[in-house]
Chain A
Amino acid sequence: MPLQHFLSHILNLLLAGPVTQLLNAIGRPPINPAAPIDGVFTMELLAVILLLGFFVIVRLTLQVEKPGTAQQLAEMLEEFVSNQTEPIIGERYRVYLPFLSVVLLFVLVNNLLGLLPDVDTATASPVVPLGVALLTFMHYHWQGVREHKGGYIKQFLGPLWWIAPLMLPIELISHLARILSLTIRLFANMYASDLLTLISFSLFPIALPVVFLGLHLGVSLIQAYVFMLLASIYVGQAIAHEH
């Protein structure tokens, strides 16, 4: 069943009016005013609802003596993210754990939902990775400012005072390029995997696509992991103290 079209249809029935008004108000009128909510946004919302449901279930069934299945899964996840981020960020990694876990889970669930047939992959549209990359960018700068206060600017000025005019533009450009590289890495990987699966279906529709779907699954897992890892490296650099 085309679940995505069904969900998009319901969303458009409920919310088409306000969303179109909002888009008109910010000066970007939708292409189709009757259906401003597209498949990508629906899948994104579905991922958010799935994650929220998972966390609500974990919170409600939380207990020390007999941990349930959802709690086991959540603990495994927490352990994985902790193990990956502790060597990068340092001993105070716990503060940054929620954001990094959410980035990992959101990208992972969106990538994996894209494996379903007849569904748009949310991360294969450049908008969604751009949103996550922008959030990451703002988050690590905010953490940097919170850690160093006004001294955060020193990270952009280089080691010597007279080299600062040269270092400042270089650092600014390299920080902005991080948004670009995070976005394009995720977007192009998922887009190319989608395209590859599609091409394999058109070449020989029996058994062969399974191989490419396996590849797609691997790429989905690795890209979510890499996104989380890069976010944690950026946070680690932003809060690092010079010795």
Chain B
Amino acid sequence: MRTTMQHLFMTLSVLCMAVPAFAQGAGASGNNLVPIAAGLGMALASGLCGLGQGRAVASSTEALARNPGARPGIFLFLVLGLAFIESLALFTFAIIIIKVK
């Protein structure tokens, strides 16, 4: 935990130095950052959505292995849960569609 925090703060302090340098470059050329933001946003959303869905599927398969008789109920909640988790990533996707024109 402590080393993680050390790394985090080291990275943040480096970023403090780096910000003026980036700002100068971007200000000079006036790059369009929307595609980068869209890609990063979608990558974050789908990556975290994958983690969440992985947890859901893992615990539901575990439950199914313990009690195969409960298949209909587990399936119902699994599909529902996956749909809700997936819709969070899809909200990001919808925002990207709206913003990127």
Interface-lining segment among B30-38, B48-56, B83-91: B83-91
Contact indicator B87/A184 (Cβ below 8 Å): yes
**B67-92: which have CB < 8 Å to A?**
72-73, 76, 79-80, 83, 86-87, 90-91
Interface-lining segment among A50-58, A197-205, A207-215, A222-230: A222-230
**B15-44: which have CB < 8 Å to A?**
none
Interface-lining segment among A68-76, A96-104, A107-115, A186-194: A186-194
Q: Does B94 count as interface, using CB distance less than 8 angstroms? A: yes
Q: Smallest CB–CB gap between A132 and chain B, Å? A: 15
Give the residues in chain A near B90, CB-CB below 8 Å.
184-185, 188-189, 192
Q: Does B5 count as interface, using CB distance less than 8 angstroms? A: no
Contact-size category for B: 10 to 19
Q: Smallest CB–CB gap between A230 and chain B, Å? A: 8
Q: Does A181 count as interface, using CB distance less than 8 angstroms? A: yes
Task: Say what secondary structure dominates the interface of chain A.
Answer: helix
Q: Smallest CB–CB gap between A40 and chain B, Å? A: 16
Known: A184-B87, A185-B87, A226-B83. A87 touches B94 (CB 8 A): no
Q: Does B97 count as interface, using CB distance less than 8 angstroms? A: yes
Give the residues in chain B near A225, CB-CB below 8 Å.
79
Contact indicator B73/A87 (Cβ below 8 Å): yes
Q: Smallest CB–CB gap between A196 and chain B, Å? A: 12
Contact indicator A229/B94 (Cβ below 8 Å): no
Known: A181-B87, A184-B87, A185-B87. A229 touches B93 (CB 8 A): no
User: What number of A-B contacts does a CB cutoff of 8 Å give?
Assistant: 39
Give the residues in chain A near B87, CB-CB below 8 Å.
181, 184-185, 188
Give the residues in chain B near A189, CB-CB below 8 Å.
86, 90
Flag A206-243 by CB within 8 Å of B: 1 or 0 each.
Answer: 00000000000000001001100110010000000000
Contact indicator B80/A184 (Cβ below 8 Å): no
Contact partner of B97 (CB less than 8 A), chosen from A84, A191, A229, is: A191
Contact indicator B80/A226 (Cβ below 8 Å): yes
Give the residues in chain B near A230, CB-CB below 8 Å.
80, 83
- Which chain B residue has the least Cβ–Cβ distance from A185? B87
Q: Smallest CB–CB gap between B90 and chain A, Å? A: 4
Contact partner of A192 (CB less than 8 A), chosen from B80, B91, B93, is: B93
- Which chain B residue has the least Cβ–Cβ distance from A223? B83
Contact indicator A226/B79 (Cβ below 8 Å): yes
Q: Smallest CB–CB gap between B74 and chain A, Å? A: 12
Give the residues in chain A near B86, CB-CB below 8 Å.
185, 189
Known: A87-B73, A87-B76, A229-B76. A185 touches B83 (CB 8 A): yes
Give the residues in chain B near A181, CB-CB below 8 Å.
87
B residues sitting closer than 8 Å to A (CB atoms) are 72-73, 76, 79-80, 83, 86-87, 90-91, 93-94, 97
Closest 3 CB pairs between A and B? Answer: A188-B90, A226-B83, A185-B87
Q: Offer 7 A-B interface pairs, CB within 8 angstroms, sorted by A.
A: A87-B72, A87-B73, A185-B86, A188-B91, A192-B93, A225-B79, A229-B76
Known: A87-B72, A184-B87, A229-B80. 12 other contacts (CB 8 A): A87-B76, A184-B90, A184-B91, A184-B94, A185-B83, A185-B87, A188-B90, A222-B83, A226-B80, A229-B76, A229-B79, A230-B83
